[in-house]
């Protein structure tokens, strides 16, 4: 889901992670650095002044005593600084080659070793957990500094701040952008033991999330009758949310089942869920009363002991260790936005608040209320009926998908045909599909992107016994969008250092576009002739939901930085309070209910640190791309857009659709769609 080759190159060559609790003392003094600069300027001329001054300072800032004395530093700079022109191009190409060679194989190694945890291979053993936390590349950072390869990059390629890239980037050619990406955005130096420790923490968080299943056959209604099939097992939050959405098509008992799922979500957020109900079907549970039963007899239950928030806290502490070693961006929040997204947090937040507070929200809510024929409930933030005729029952879609895809191999075999349906030429469809591997996921599904051309993009989706169901197919289409992006901008890009997209929101945009074409791929028509107009409203409603979720995630991180010594219980109370506050400001006036906590349900908050705003931005970008594509063929346009590569987000958007990222186009489109929808 995340930007691949550029992130990897930064990891390998300029090392984006942290280290200890105190910033290291600079070893190379300013006098030595000035002497080296003067010597290099005398040798290479004033034309190289900017690169010399920046490069020497970058290398000096990370040079440690163990790397050699001041004479060694001066000798290194004399021998390794490369003047601009053909020699610098050759050096950049070499660094690209090594970045792909090393990064591709290390990524493949990690993906292979993690299969027992990532894929549906049965019970996770202690050995599997230990190997999942093991980072094969833990010593890579140390090694590349020790052999001076990382210093070669720092010496020759300037590290630009976001402000500099915004000011200068529009005038750069492809080579200059490649040089900027080789240098990275935030060089730090990571000891192996800290790299391994961070890997352990994040792997444990991933396991916690991927194993958090609710056996829905054990969930009881208010009358203590089972509400769901005995074999239904749903992952929190993805599976729960998608089952809730599916129940809009259930005219007989759908509403009570939605209320039950909503109560399950609330119990998880508040950590009131009985520990016995997590990934187990031994007991029966009434989420309305929160009583636990065994063979019809009420038994004592123990709530989950704030494990959700302890895990969240651990990932925060892991990321926080970067701060002393990141003088340009001294917090994970800054790095997530200024480095990871290259859009300042204030700009992103302003976009979200503009849409959340827009008058269009109330208008769309009124339309939903009329379609449902009842007052809105808090879970109607996931109402799916704006895009399609919700009369197509989930069970019927399940039957269609199971017949078509009895296993993961059948879905993989059908990838070329899917791409042709989406507008790709048969030749390009075959090229892309041959480089995608489909596996049955343990979790909800994801796409593990390849980092080298020798390897395949790994598409993971849930495939229950008896065949893929509609939920799995819908997620598979989303992840296939990620995989196609990975293949196109890895194999067809002009410079490896530009492979990928500006940030995760851009790969999410096309993943959403693929996902929304799931019924088209299945050959299931949408009866409503207004579906194109209603699709605008659906995209808007999705953005309304995920932007509130994103604000909760963002504000939770600010709270954590203000309270770094918080306990899991204190974090739980803070997240719940933040979720209520965001709800009361942007949702209560629309839904007529205050103090709801549902915006805190997303599992991404636990194991994908500050990733949620990518989805919200992805909705905005998706709309602008969809609007541009309405009279065009998806396949060729997707290829054209992605081959701009990993440049600044706003430059990418101008190249793709002719305008920058903004919520204003979708707000205008909603007004038009509402008139037609009436």
Encoding tokens for residue 598? 């549902």
Is the entire prediction scored with pTM above 0.85? Answer: no
Taking residue 297's Cβ as centre, other Cβ atoms within 10 Å add up to 8
Task: Tell me how far apart the alpha carbons of residues 674 and 368 are, in angstroms, rounded to a whole number.
Answer: 11
Residue 482, C-beta contacts closer than 8 angstroms, at least 6 positions apart = 1, 446, 447, 449, 457, 459, 507, 510, 511
Task: Give the pLDDT of residue 324.
Answer: 81
Task: Give the pLDDT of residue 15.
Answer: 36
Q: Report the Cα 331 to chain-centroid distance in Å.
A: 19
Task: Give the pLDDT of residue 526.
Answer: 58
Task: Give the pLDDT of residue 528.
Answer: 57
Give the pLDDT means over successive 10-residue stretches in the chain (678 positions). Answer: 40 36 74 96 95 95 93 97 95 95 91 88 86 82 88 94 94 96 80 81 92 96 95 94 93 94 98 97 97 95 97 96 82 94 95 98 96 96 77 81 94 97 96 95 84 94 88 92 95 95 88 90 72 84 97 98 98 98 98 98 95 93 91 94 95 96 96 84
Task: Give the pLDDT of residue 23.
Answer: 55
Instruction: Tell me how far apart the 2 most distant CA atoms of the chain are, in Å.
Output: 87
Q: Is 91:82 a contact under the CB 8 Å cutoff? A: yes
Task: Tell me how far apart the alpha carbons of residues 645 and 306 are, in angstroms, rounded to a whole number.
Answer: 42
CA dihedral 134, 139, 140, 144 (to 10 degrees): 170
CA dihedral 659, 662, 667, 670 (to 10 degrees): 60
Owner of token pair 């992103």: 348
Kind and range of the H or E run holding 667: helix 664-677
- Phi and psi at residue 441, in whole multiples of 5°? -85, 150
Q: Is 28:155 a contact under the CB 8 Å cutoff? A: no
Q: Is 534:677 a contact under the CB 8 Å cutoff? A: yes
Q: Report the Cα 448 to chain-centroid distance in Å.
A: 11
Task: Give the pLDDT of residue 458.
Answer: 95
* Beta-bridge partners for 284: 293
Ranges of each domain in the chain? 5-190, 212-270+272-305, 310-321+325-386+526-677, 394-499
DSSP 105-158: HHHHHHHHHTHHHHB--SPPPHHHHHHHH--TTTTHHHHHHHTTHHHHHHHHSP
Sheet of 445-448: strands edge to edge?
Answer: 436-440, 457-461, 445-448
Encoding tokens for residue 497? 């250092």
């Amino acid at each position: 889901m995340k930007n691949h080759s550029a992130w990897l190159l930064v990891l390998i060559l300029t090392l984006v992670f942290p280290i200890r609790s105190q910033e290291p003392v600079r070893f190379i003094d300013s006098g030595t650095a000035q002497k080296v600069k003067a010597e290099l300027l005398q040798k290479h001329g004033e034309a190289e002044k900017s690169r010399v001054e920046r490069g020497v300072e970058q290398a000096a800032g990370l040079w440690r005593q163990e790397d050699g004395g001041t004479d060694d530093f001066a000798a290194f700079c004399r021998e390794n600084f490369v003047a601009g022109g053909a020699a610098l191009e050759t050096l950049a190409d070499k660094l690209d080659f090594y970045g792909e060679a090393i990064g591709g194989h290390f990524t493949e190694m990690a993906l292979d070793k993690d299969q027992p945890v990532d894929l549906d291979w049965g019970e996770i053993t202690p050995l599997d957990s230990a190997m999942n936390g093991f980072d094969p590349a833990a010593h890579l950072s140390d090694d590349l500094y020790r052999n001076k390869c990382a210093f070669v990059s720092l010496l020759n390629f300037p590290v630009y701040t976001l402000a500099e890239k915004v000011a200068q980037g529009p005038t750069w050619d492809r080579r200059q952008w490649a040089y900027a990406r080789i240098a990275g955005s935030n060089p730090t130096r990571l000891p192996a033991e800290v790299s391994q420790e961070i890997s352990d923490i994040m792997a444990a968080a991933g396991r916690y999330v991927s194993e958090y299943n609710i056996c829905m056959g054990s969930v009881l209604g208010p009358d203590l009758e089972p509400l769901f099939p005995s074999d239904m097992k749903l992952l929190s939050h993805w599976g729960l949310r998608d089952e809730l959405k599916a129940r809009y098509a259930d005219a007989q008992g759908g509403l009570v089942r939605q209320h039950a799922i909503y109560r399950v979500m609330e119990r998880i957020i508040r950590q009131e869920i009985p520990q016995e109900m997590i990934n187990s079907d031994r007991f029966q549970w009434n989420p309305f009363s929160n009583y636990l039963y065994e063979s019809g007899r009420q038994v004592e239950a123990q709530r989950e002991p704030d494990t959700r928030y302890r895990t969240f806290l651990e990932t925060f502490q892991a990321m926080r260790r970067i701060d002393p070693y990141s003088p340009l961006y001294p917090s994970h929040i800054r790095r997530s936005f200024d480095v990871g997204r290259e859009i300042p947090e204030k700009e992103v937040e302003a976009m979200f608040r503009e849409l959340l507070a827009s008058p269009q929200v109330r208008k769309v809510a009124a339309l939903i209320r009329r379609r449902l024929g009842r007052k809105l409930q808090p879970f109607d933030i996931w109402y799916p009926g704006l895009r399609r005729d919700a009369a197509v029952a989930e069970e019927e879609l399940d039957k269609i998908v199971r017949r078509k895809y009895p296993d993961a191999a059948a879905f993989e075999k059908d990838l070329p045909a899917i791409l042709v349906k989406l507008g790709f030429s048969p030749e390009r469809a075959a090229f892309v599909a041959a480089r995608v591997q489909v596996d049955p996921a343990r979790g909800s599904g994801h796409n593990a992107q390849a980092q080298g051309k020798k390897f395949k993009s790994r598409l993971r989706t849930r495939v229950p016994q008896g065949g893929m169901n509609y939920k799995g197919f819908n997620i598979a289409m989303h992840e296939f969008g990620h995989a196609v992006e990975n293949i196109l901008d890895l194999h067809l890009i002009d410079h490896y250092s530009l492979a990928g997209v500006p940030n995760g929101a851009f790969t999410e945009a096309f993943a959403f576009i693929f996902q929304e074409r799931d019924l088209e791929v299945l050959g299931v028509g949408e009866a409503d002739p207004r579906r194109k107009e209603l699709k605008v409203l659906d995209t808007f409603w999705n953005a309304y939901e995920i932007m509130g979720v994103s604000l909760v995630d963002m504000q939770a991180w600010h709270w954590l930085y203000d309270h770094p010594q918080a306990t899991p219980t204190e974090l739980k109370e803070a997240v719940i309070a933040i979720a209520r506050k965001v709800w009361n400001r942007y949702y209560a006036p629309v839904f007529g209910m205050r103090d709801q906590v549902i915006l805190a349900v997303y599992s991404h908050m636990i194991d994908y640190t500050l990733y949620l705003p990518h989805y919200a931005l992805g909705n905005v970008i998706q709309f602008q791309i969809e609007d541009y594509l309405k009279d065009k063929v998806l396949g060729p346009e997707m290829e054209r857009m992605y081959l701009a590569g990993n440049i600044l987000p706003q430059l990418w958007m101008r190249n793709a659709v002719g305008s920058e990222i903004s919520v204003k186009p979708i707000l205008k489109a909603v007004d038009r769609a509402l008139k037609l929808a009436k």
